[in-house]
Amino acid sequence: MKKYKPYVKKYWYCFILGPFFMVLEACGEFILPYINANIINIGAANRDIPYIIKNGLLMLLIAGGMLLTGVLGAFFAIRGSARLSAGVRLDTFAKIQTFSFSNIDDFSTGSLITRITNDVTQIQNFAQTLLRGMFRSPVMIIGALVMSFYLNPSLAAVILIVVPLLALAIAGIILTASPRYGQMQKALDRLNNGIGETVTNERVIKSFVREEYEKKKFAEVNEKLVEKSTAALKMMLLIQPVSALVMNVTTLAVVWIAGGQIMAGSMELGTLSSFIIYLTQVLTALNFLANIVLQGTRAAASDRRISEVLNTEADINDKGARFADRGVERGSIELRNVSFRYFKKNKEKVLDSVSLTIEAGELVGIIGSTGSGKTTLVSMIPRLYDADEGEVLVDGMNVKDMSLRGLREGVAMVLQKNTLFSGTIAENLRWGDENAGDEEIREAAAIAMADGFIQSFPEGYETELGQGGVNLSGGQKQRICIARALLKRPKILILDDSTSAVDTATDASIRRAFREKLPKMTKIIIAQRINSVMDADKIIVLDEGRVAGCGSHGELMESCEAYREIYHSQKDGQEV
Ligand code: ADP
């Protein structure tokens, strides 16, 4: 509950004025039938027109007041609950920003989206219902009961019997329904996961003509959601008919008893009509309370799910770092016996006792089959993941002892999957350095061999990119991403298969430019093509998470079987 406190405090007037106006409106609800009874019993019975007009006007005035207080109450309830949810949404979003990749993997992206949207909305709906009804409904029930006792105690006894019975029935329904709501929420998670994955990978799906398969997969989770939500909602639907039944039976009983009393002359007609209104009010208020409890159980499930996010400490942080003010200065790297698994339960290690050293300014190639752990290995350097065993050192310091921000500012990683944003090319490049001047931007683009093609566009650096850079070729996108990383002026640059769509000659020119223009920067290039790493100062060969060899091309050709295999598989039959 702690998470809501700041917002309740900040918008305290909504949380006081909302219920206050709603209670005020409720007072009108039980005064009106009383005046109504008087008009019939006194005014109409005695044909006292001035009495009827006077009381009629009074009813009108009260109805007007109820409209005003009702609107004000609803306004403050809506404002308070919307503010509360906006605050919680912002906090949850900020928390997710601190998460490491493995935190996000643990939750799944779809689940995080559901929590920040659907779950927060549940809290908002509940807060709104609560503000509108938490005092109003009990006041209505008590007020209507008092008034009906005042009008006719023996009839009021009927209500006293019925109310607990109905309350019990509603409680039973809610108890059965609430676990089903939990399952419904889980089904919604799965649906959102599916949507997230499909929409972000639409291109791949299209290129593999997997639309039908995806549709089928989606239909299945969609069906599951229908099944789970029907199971939950059909229980809730029972509340309405059960209340109606109780209402009708009670009305019948009241009319039966009242009929006898009216015939005997001990009760007036106006009293009966007002009595039925009070009865309706009590049952309606009871329904509203049931709704509060129901929304409360849903909101409690959502609250737990939001708390899980808010209470998760980002597993990668620099609390307790010994040199919390230190970032990367030179760019040397050392891995000492590093082992890592994505799923700690798995026996197989993704990295198995990896040890290696990279000097500052070196150009290092990493090669190995898909799944051999290349990406995982380099992810250890900017601490996208932390090693399970062993140490990762940058500039001789354990990365866990450095400032996380300083470390990540010093390491630029161009990932396999490149992401560009809508906006101009220049704007995208300035992600690397928002203050970069035109000249610096061009320099970086020239090293990444991107300047030429950018200049050939009619709008040059001001060319607008579609979302994700859709109007560029794969190779062009890759080069812009490299230029963007260079503008960060990192001490360590990691290219994770990021020239795969660039032709061999341009690829070689990029590496030549790296050597000539960026001699001090440590450069790590992961590549599939042996050509891309052959001329590196040092090549690391990975095989099933282990270092199978490390050295120059010549050394590895002599000493490393795995390297020779890769070499021959790519070069045989080609001119070397
Ligand atoms: P490479 O870059 O050499 O192709 P990766 O480092 O990407 O290899 O992957 C190594 C192994 O780790 C693979 O078996 C892959 O399936 C697994 N893996 C990679 N990323 C994740 C992740 N986020 N969660 C779970 N497993 C992963």
**pLDDT tens, 546-563?**
999 999 999 999 999 999
Out of 102, 104, 375, 494, mutate this one to test ligand 1's pocket (max ligand atoms within 8 Å of CB): namely: 375
Q: Is 374 in the pocket of ligand 1 (CB under 6 A)?
A: yes
Q: Are 86 and 125 in contact (CB under 8 A)?
A: no
* pLDDT at residue number 573: 57
Query: What is the per-residue pLDDT across 383-400, written as a single tens digit (0 to 9) for each?
Result: 999 999 999 999 999 999
Contact 365, 540 (CB under 8 A): yes
To test the pocket of ligand 1, the residue of 316, 341, 342, 372 to mutate (highest count of ligand atoms within 8 Å of its CB) is 342
Lowest pLDDT segment from 206-210, 247-251, 363-367: 206-210
Q: CA 29 to CA 135: how far, in whole Å?
A: 14
**H or E element, residue 128:** helix 120-133
Check if 417 has its Cβ closer than 6 Å to any atom of ligand 1.
no
| Minimal-distance CA residue to ligand 1 atom 26 | 342
- What DSSP designation does 413 have? E
DSSP category for residue 4: G
Ligand 1 and 379: CB distance under 6 A:
no
The model carries a pTM of 0.74
* Ligand 1 atom having least distance to the Cα of 377: 6
Average pLDDT over residues 185-192: 80
Query: Which residues lie below 8 Å from residue 186, measured CB to CB, with a gap of 6+?
Result: 228
Give 121's pLDDT tier (boundaries 50, 70, 90): very high
The reported pLDDT for the residue numbered 204 is: 66
Phi and psi at residue 457, to the nearest 5°? -75, 145
CB 472 within 8 A of CB 423: no
**Exposure string (b/e) for 221-238, b if CB count within 10 Å is 16 or more?**
bbebbeebbebbeebbee
Query: Among 419, 328, 342, 423, which Cα is nearest to 375's?
Result: 342
Which ligand 1 atom is nearest residue 376's CA? 6
Whether 536 and 545 have beta carbons less than 8 Å apart is answered as: no
The closest residue, in CA terms, to atom 22 on ligand 1 is 342
- Closest ligand 1 atom to Cα of 370: 4
Q: Which atom of ligand 1 is nearest to the CA of 542?
A: 3
Closest Cα to residue 169, out of 247, 117, 104, 112?
A: 247
Cβ of 375 less than 6 Å from ligand 1: yes
Q: Is 545 in the pocket of ligand 1 (CB under 6 A)?
A: no
Sorting pLDDT into bands at 50, 70 and 90, what band is 576? very low
Q: Whose CA is nearest to atom 18 of ligand 1?
A: 342
> Do the Cβ atoms of 512 and 503 come closer than 8 Å?
no
| CB-ligand 1 contact for 350 (6 Å cutoff) | yes
Q: Is the CB of 462 under 6 A from ligand 1?
A: no
Of all protein residues, whose CA lies closest to atom 13 belonging to ligand 1? 371
First to last CA, the chain: 68
Q: For the chain, list the domains and their CATH numbers.
A: 5-186+233-310 (1.20.1560.10), 320-410+492-499+524-576 (3.40.50.300), 412-489 (3.40.50.300)
What is the sign of the dihedral through the CA atoms of 573, 543, 315 and 304?
A: positive
Residue 506 neighbours by CB under 8 Å, 6+ apart: 449, 475, 479, 499
**How many A from CA of 481 to the centre of ligand 1?**
22
Distance 341 CA to ligand 1 centre (A): 9
Secondary structure of residue 281 in the 3-state scheme: helix
d(CA 225, CA 487): 47
Reported confidence tier of residue 92, pLDDT bands at 50, 70, 90: very high
370 lines ligand 1 (CB under 6 A): yes
**Span from the CA of 416 to the centroid of ligand 1 (angstroms):** 12
Of residues 330 and 416, more confidently modeled = 330
For helices 153-200 and 269-310, what crossing angle results, to 10°?
Answer: 30
Q: Higher confidence at residue 496 or residue 471?
A: 496
| Interval 9-18 mean pLDDT | 94
- Find out whether the beta carbon of 368 lies less than 6 Å from any atom of ligand 1: yes
- The residue to mutate among 106, 344, 372, 376, having the most atoms of ligand 1 within 8 angstroms of its beta carbon, is 376
Distance from residue 219's CA to the centre of ligand 1 (Å) = 29
Look over the chain and give the mean of its residue pLDDT values, rounded to a whole number.
89
Contacts for 497 with CB less than 8 Å, ≥ 6 apart: 374, 416, 526, 527, 528
Q: Cα separation of 518 and 493, whole Å?
A: 10
CA 156 to centroid of chain Cα atoms: 50
pLDDT in tens, 23-60: 999 999 888 988 988 898 888 888 899 999 999 999 99
Nearest CA to ligand 1 atom 11: 371
Q: Report, as an integer, the average pLDDT of 5-21.
A: 93
| Structure-derived torsion over alpha carbons of residues 97, 100, 101, 103, reported in degrees to the nearest 10 | -90
Q: How confident is the model at residue 575 (pLDDT cuts 50, 70, 90)?
A: very low
DSSP secondary structure letters along 400-418:
GGB-HHHHHHHEEEE-SS-
